[in-house]
Amino acid sequence: MTALPRRAALALPFATLMPARIAAQGARPITVGQGFLAESLDPAQGSAGWALQSHGVAEALFTTDRSGATVPNLARDTRRDDHGAWTVSLLPGLRFSDGAPCDAAAVVASLRRALAENPRARTGIGAATSIEPVDATTLRLAPERPVGAIAPLLAEFPLVIHRRTEAGGFVFTGPWMVREFRRGDRIVLEPNPAFRDGADRLAAVIRRLTDPNALAIGLEAGEFDLAFGLATETLPRLRGRPGITVVSTPVAYHYMLLLNLRRPALGDARVRQALSLALDRAQMARAIGGGVPASGLFPAYLPWGLPDPLPTDRARAAALLDEAGWRMEGGVRRREGRVLELTLTAYPQRPDFLTLAPVARAQLEALGIRLRTEVVEAITPAIQEGRFDIAFWTTHVAPGGDPAFAQEQYVRSGAPLNVMGFADSALDATLDRLAAAEAPAARHALAREAAAMLNTSLPIVPLLTPEWHIGHSARLAGYRPWPSDYHILHAGIR
C-alpha cells in the first residue's frame, strides 16, 4: 500500500483550538520520515484508512495489541443474539477532533458510508449489512452473511470511524488531527484536544521520502526524530552514531509476489509452481539482513500459519516447465518459438524490494526464464490496472487479529484486491465456512486449509516474513514500535 506521487496542497481549517497548555510549549514538532503517506484524507478511498491510522489520526472500533490480539478501542465489547445479529457497545463521551459527539448515530453513519463507498470495507460483513443505533452508546449490526467473529472485522482499516463535515472535510478520533496535507509530500498534525486520554502532546510532521538513503541521512542530520523503514545497508553506520537508536522488529507483514494470471504463461498453475520452487527464500532473507522464509500466506508463528517453509527444488521446477511446454533452447525457455519472458515490478517505498529484485532475477534466470526488472513510483495503480506480470507486494495479513482479512481481500473470486484475476470455487467455499465459524480453533483450522490450497494454486507466491528497521533520536527515547506500520504515531508517544 503506497501513496500516489502527485502533489497537491490542501489546508484544512480547524473547528477547535488547541489547549493553551499545548500551544504554549513552543517545542518543535515531532518529525517523522517514512516511505508512504496517505493518498487522501477520505478513508473511503482505497487504503487511506490504513495510512490515517498509521499517522495517529484515525481509529477503528477495535484494534490489535502488540501481540496481534484483537482488543477494544472505541468500542467496549460485542454480543451476538440468537438470530446472528451483533450488538456493539461504545465507550461513553467519545468526541471527534472538532468536538462533535462520536456516539452510536455517528458511528453508524461512518460504517454505512464505508460500506457504500469502499469495496474493501464490504468484504467482511457485506454491503447489505443492516446497521442501526440502539441508544447513544449502542449499535446493532445484522450482517448480510453469517459472521462468527465481528470484533476483528470492526478492527480493519476500511472501517475507521470518521465524520464528514459540512465543508466536505473529514474529522476523526485519534490523538492527532490534520492541519495541512500536501499529497505525496507531507502531512502536518496538531494534537487532538478531544482525545479521550487528555494528555499533552506535541505537533507532528510526517514527510514522505522514497529514497531510504535520504531517510538515513535525515536521521543523522537531526532532520527526523523518527525514521521508519531504514534500509539494511544503512544500519551499521547509524548504530554507531551517538544519540541515535535503531530498533529492528519482526512484523506481521508478508513479502510476496503477485502473479497476473491474465498473462498466458502465468495462467498455467505449473508455471506458477515452478516460479515458487525456483526461489531460494533463505538466500533472500540473507540479502536483506533478516527475515523468515514463508510457509504460506500467513507467517508461521501465527496460530493459523502453516509450519513448514515453502521448498526450493530447481529440478522439480524445471520438470514442471518442461511439462507445460516451456523447454530449454539456447539457454532460455521457449514454447512454439516464443521466449518465456516476464517483468518483475518493484517500488521504492519498500526498500527491501529493491534489494530482492536482482536476487529473484538471478534465481529465475537460472531456470531459463528471461526476467526484466522495473521500479515504479506508484505500485497500487499499476497492479489495479493490470500493468504487471509479477509484482512485489507486502501487506499485513491479519490487521484485525483474525485470519479472514487477507484471504477475503485478495483471493476470494472477485475480491477488491484480487488483481491477479484468480478464481477458485473450492477456495470460496472454504472461505464461506471460515466467515461463519465462531470457535477460534475452527477458524484457525479453516484458515490453514485455505492457505494449503493457495500453496498449490499460487496466484500469490509468498516470500518472507521480514524484519523492519526504525531509527529514532534521543528525543523519542523509549519509542516502542508496533510489529507493523499501522501505528507509527500512536497515543503512547510523549
Claim to verify: residue 407 and residue 492 sit in the same structural domain = no
Has residue 206 got a pLDDT over 80?
Answer: yes
| Neighbour count for residue 167 (Cβ, 10 Å) | 9
Q: Whole-angstrom Cα distance, residue 132 to residue 140?
A: 5
Name residue, grid cell 487477507.
406
| Neighbour count for residue 112 (Cβ, 10 Å) | 14
Q: Whole-angstrom Cα distance, residue 167 to residue 156?
A: 27
**Could you tell me the residue range of the domain that residue 94 belongs to?**
61-158
pLDDT at residue 26, as a whole number: 61
CATH number at residue 131: 3.90.76.10
Claim to verify: residue 455 and residue 317 sit in the same structural domain = yes
Residue 447's identity, in one-letter code, is: A
Claim to verify: residue 436 and residue 347 sit in the same structural domain = yes
Number of domains in the chain: 3
Residues above pLDDT 90, as percent of the chain: 74
Q: Half-sphere exposure of residue 166, counting CA atoms within 13 Å on the CB side?
A: 3
Q: Which of 205, 204, 256, 253 is nearest to 229 (CA)?
A: 253
Claim to verify: residue 112 and residue 196 sit in the same structural domain = no
Q: Which of 24, 171, 159, 148 is nearest to 94 (CA)?
A: 171
Claim to verify: residue 434 and residue 451 sit in the same structural domain = yes
| Neighbour count for residue 19 (Cβ, 10 Å) | 12
Claim to verify: residue 266 and residue 240 sit in the same structural domain = no
Has residue 74 got a pLDDT over 70?
Answer: yes
Q: What is the mean pLDDT of residues 97-103?
A: 97
CATH number at residue 21: 3.40.190.10
Q: Average per-residue pLDDT in the chain?
A: 91
Claim to verify: residue 170 and residue 154 sit in the same structural domain = no
CATH number at residue 284: 3.10.105.10
Name residue, grid cell 506521487.
5
pLDDT at residue 123, as a whole number: 81
Distance, C-alpha 275 to centroid of its chain: 25
Q: Which of 400, 401, 405, 449 is nearest to 424 (CA)?
A: 449
Q: Where are the beta strands (DSSP E) in 163-224?
A: 163-164, 170-171, 176-182, 186-191, 204-208
Q: Is 103 helix (H, G, I), strand (E, B) or coil?
A: coil
pLDDT at residue 402, as a whole number: 84
Residue 263's identity, in one-letter code, is: R
Q: DSSP letters along 268-306, please?
A: SHHHHHHHHHH--HHHHHHHTT--EE-SSSS-TTSTTS-
Domain C-terminal end among 158, 192, 226: 158
pLDDT at residue 23, as a whole number: 40
Q: Is residue 308 within 8 Å of 337, Cβ to Cβ?
A: no
Name residue, grid cell 506481521.
252
Q: Whole-angstrom Cα distance, residue 279 to residue 5?
A: 31
Claim to verify: residue 283 and residue 315 sit in the same structural domain = yes
| pLDDT-wise least confident of 4-13, 177-186, 277-286 | 4-13
Q: 279: which 3 cell numbers?
A: 526461489
Claim to verify: residue 314 and residue 182 sit in the same structural domain = no
Q: Is residue 432 within 8 Å of 123, Cβ to Cβ?
A: no
Q: What is the pLDDT of residues 8-57, one digit of tens each?
A: 333 333 333 333 334 434 689 999 999 899 999 999 998 899 999 999 99
| pLDDT-wise least confident of 1-15, 48-62, 350-364 | 1-15
Claim to verify: residue 393 and residue 261 sit in the same structural domain = yes
| Neighbour count for residue 486 (Cβ, 10 Å) | 21
Q: Which of 226, 188, 187, 214 is nearest to 37 (CA)?
A: 187
**pLDDT category of residue 350 using cuts at 50, 70 and 90:** confident
**pLDDT category of residue 7 using cuts at 50, 70 and 90:** very low
Q: Which residues pair with 161 in a beta bridge?
A: 59
Q: Whole-angstrom Cα distance, residue 342 to residue 331?
A: 15
Q: What is the mean pLDDT of residues 146-153?
A: 90
H/E element, 72: strand 70-72
